[in-house]
Amino acid sequence: MGGAPTIGSIFAERVVVGVGDMAVSNNANVVISTYALGSCVGIVALDSAAKVGGMLHIMLPDSTLTPEKAQRQPAMFADTGLRAFLKGLYGLNANPRRLKIFLAGGANVLSGSDFFKIGERNIIAVKKILQRERLNIMGEDLAGLNNRTLHFKINTGVVDIKLPSETKRFTLV
């Protein structure tokens, strides 16, 4: 029976998180993906003891830009997005002290003023909120010149970070 698929892999369910969107789950067979993070930042979280994990894909740092949009789509902004994301995780019994976080994205233009460094501003906003909440950032693949795609397996805590010319791996356990 070598190479036979496991029960978990047969029932693996893929959830795709779009731009300004999020997903949380307590189903260990779920694989959460988000495609083409440009200046956006992807936040991956896992409480391995509770088998609760999730992913958030924020686009801009601050919801005061357009409060009505933030009300309709809170995951678009770092502040309202992280609030909704953590509420969702805690609602599934994730414990903030056990929660491990991985960050990716926030690419920036090679040469330009701060005006255009939305990626950098997204990173600063996300880290500031996570630090305020005393959450544990275990790893990151941030900034630079590349778009990134993320695939996160809740049961193993493995995050695959796909860049144009390579794939990196980080494990959140």
Partner 1 sequence: MNVQTVLEKVEKLPPAPAVLPMLLRLLSDTDSDPGEIVGYIKVDPSLMAQVLKLANSAYFGGSHVYDLDDAVGRIGYREVYKLVAMVCGREMLGDKLPDLCIEEGQLWEYSLATGYVMELLAGHIGTDISAAYTVGILHSLGKVVLSTYREFDYTRVMDLVENRHLPLAQAERAIYGVTNAQVASTLLRKWKFDDEVTVPIEYQSNPMGANEEFRKMACMLNLSIWTVSSLGHNHGKDSWAFEVSESTVEAIGIDDVRLQKFIIEAHEKLEEIKDLLDQKQPV
The set of catalytic residues is: 40
d(CA 32, CA 36): 14
- Contact characters 50-79, partner 1, x per CB under 8 A: ---------xx----xx--x------x---
Token representation of residue 4: 């036979």
d(CA 13, CA 137): 26
| Helix 78-91, helix 118-132: angle, nearest 10 | 40
Interface residue with partner 1, options 112, 134, 169, 173 (CB under 8 A): 112
117-136 residues in contact with partner 1 (CB under 8 A) are: 118-119
Interface residue with partner 1, options 17, 22, 23, 37 (CB under 8 A): 37
CB 124 within 8 A of CB 131: no
Q: Is residue 160 part of the contact set for partner 1 (CB under 8 A)?
A: no
d(CA 52, CA 10): 20
**Residues near partner 1, by CB under 8 A:** 18-20, 35-40, 59-60, 65-66, 69, 76, 107-113, 115-116, 118-119, 144-147, 164-165
